[in-house]
Amino acid sequence: MQFCNGMHRLAAVLFIALVLLCFTSANASRRKWRSLHQTAFGEADGQMECGRQFHDIQSKWLQSKLVLRALNWQIIESASASHRFNLTIVVHSVLKTGGSKSGPRLRISNGSRIMVGEFSGALSRRQRSRQRQQCTPSRLRSNDKGYIFFLKPTLDPTYFKHSFLPIKFRSRRLRKFDRVSCGRRNRCPKAPWIVKAIPQGVTPHKGSREVSMRFVCGARGEPAPIVRWLKNGANLVLDDRVRAQMKKRSHGIVSRLTIRPVKLTDAGNYTCVFTNLQGSVNTTFEIGVAEILNAERQLFRKDREMPAYVCDSANKTHCQNGGTCVINNFDGKPHCVCPRYFTGYICEKIDIY
């Protein structure tokens, strides 16, 4: 009888473990690819928070002078027409405190009352992008577990301003702070390092009669790095044809760059750059004109159509400054694929920007 009871308990434990494993796998598979927003000048303004590029929860903790948790607060209305106001909060627990090298150490303890500003009554909770740009959060919803505030001191020792927008308290967020706090486990911030670099190359698609290419790279770091793509050393401009995406995985951040359809001007060096507060790391993929032409030859081989070929001896001097001359069969005219730092119809212009 005791043996049967023991077997029943073991079966119950195994069943619970199997359910938890399936739930974890389902959550992992639900993580979708997120599109990156990138311009020729780098990250878009709407992706920054309080004027800072790094604003994940660990980067917020590292860049803030004072981090605390508060459960209770009181609104101090302002008489101005801007609908801005301050809060008087009661400190529940101090998560991080420290002054600057030129100033005194912050003396904040549990139970202290401080004033925090500014908040906006004109911005709704859905206007998150404007809140990030102005560094002015909207009214806080009531929450039993309270909020985490990221603050910086002012000349008034009882008044603090936002370093970043406050977030709801979660116990798992304390574990994220612990991974970059250099505490008892000696876990400190780390610069990113590459864990994956897969050049999938140029691929012909006979169904749509198009050629595409894709690159995949991944990196780890503490805090989690952000990713951006470069082409020939300059920021890559993304659009409907050139798309970059990222996904968070258990082993780090993974990003993929997809170009479809591919043009001859897409030849060059593509660099995947991962950056956090501790440093950056990159890996480069190289695609030449010959690879694109070979893929197009495979695509049109069935119809014996050659969409492009290298110029003959009569046009070999058509392009300047080392440009590659190719002739497209659709118009029969020579075109130039310019090397780095050159542009123009025959690569006659210098482009150093």
Q: Tell me, what CATH number does 239's domain have?
A: 2.60.40.10
Domain enclosing residue 216, as ranges: 190-297
| Among 255, 278, 297, residue at a domain's last position | 297
User: Is position 215 within any domain?
Assistant: yes
Query: Confidence class of residue 67 from pLDDT cuts 50, 70 and 90?
Result: very high
- Do 281 and 317 share a domain, yes or no? no
Q: How far apart are CA 233 and CA 267, in angstroms?
A: 13
Largest interatomic CA distance in the chain: 95
CATH number, domain with residue 312 = 2.10.25.10
| Among 155, 188, 221, residue at a domain's last position | 188
- Do 196 and 292 share a domain, yes or no? yes
137 close to 122: Cβ distance less than 8 angstroms? no
Residue 277 reports pLDDT greater than 90: yes
User: Is position 101 within any domain?
Assistant: no
Query: How many structural domains does the chain have?
Result: 3
User: Is position 136 within any domain?
Assistant: no
| pLDDT at residue 309 in the model | 58
Q: How far apart are CA 160 and CA 113, in angstroms?
A: 11
| pLDDT at residue 348 in the model | 82
Residue pLDDT, tens place only, 25-48: 444 445 688 888 765 445 544 478
Residue 303 reports pLDDT greater than 50: no
Q: How far apart are CA 29 and CA 37, in angstroms?
A: 23
Which of these ranges, 8-17, 181-190, 235-244, has the smallest mean pLDDT? 8-17
Residue pLDDT, tens place only, 242-255: 999 999 887 789 99
Query: Confidence class of residue 106 from pLDDT cuts 50, 70 and 90?
Result: confident
User: Is position 253 within any domain?
Assistant: yes
With 0-12 / 13-18 / 19 or more C-beta atoms within 10 angstroms meaning exposed / middle / buried, residue 74 is exposed
- Do 175 and 231 share a domain, yes or no? no
Residue with the bigger pLDDT between 142 and 272: it is 272
User: Is position 129 within any domain?
Assistant: no
Residue with the bigger pLDDT between 209 and 329: it is 209
Residue 307 reports pLDDT greater than 70: no
Share of the chain above pLDDT 90, in %: 28
| Among 153, 171, 188, residue at a domain's last position | 188
Q: How far is CA 15 from CA 7, 21, 29, 319, in A?
A: 12, 10, 21, 70
Residue 57 reports pLDDT greater than 80: yes
Residue 199 reports pLDDT greater than 50: yes
